[in-house]
Amino acid sequence: MTAITVPLDGFCAELQRVYEQANSDLSAISEQKGADATGVFSYRLPHQATYGLQAIPYSAFHRNHGYRLQELDFSIPCYLTARKFGKESQTVLMLQAPNWWQKMRHPHVLKHLEIHVAKDGAHLLLGPGTSPRPKRSSRNWILLLTEKQQSTFASLMPGAPRWRSLLETWRKSWFRKTK
């Protein structure tokens, strides 16, 4: 399974670039349609006695305003979890469920990443996960968080699973008995 690792800030910057590119493409398309409006639309009315050909110039269909994206809003179900990169453990957002062995080692929480892209930039909101779990795919996107985002989101992570603390307690008691 291939994992695509991207910084969350880089992901937001790319969304902002796509938003601006879409707006420039939409304005170019509207200007192009105005330039191509030289033909005519021909039609016949069947209820008239004579079936004379009537025409409407394409410029009558053309609007004087162009289209553009006001804002781009969408949400992605994701998992807030801890991953090890080298020797460091980092809090990350994963767009698919962790594997079962990763679930046992690190706690994970299903969240909804709401993304709002407008003229003034991209804004993020991490809300509770209310949708069904994300489907497994052949590619897993891992969004790396900055230090500030990690410290903010670390409070949303649960502690170690109960069974893990029980395992640690059992291991300590076992070693005490064997000594």
pLDDT by residue (tens digit) across 17-30?
999 998 888 887 76
* pLDDT band, very low/low/confident/very high, at 41 (cuts 50, 70, 90): low
Mean pLDDT (the chain, rounded): 76
Rounded to two decimals, what is the model's pTM? Answer: 0.66
Q: Where are the alpha helices (DSSP H) in the chain?
A: 8-35, 100-105, 147-154, 162-178
Rounded to an integer, the average pLDDT of 13-18 is 92
Q: How many helices (H) and strands (E) does the chain have?
A: 4, 8
Token pair of 18, please? 């796509």
Q: What is the mean pLDDT of residues 40-46?
A: 67
User: Residue 166: phi, psi to the nearest 5?
Assistant: -65, -40
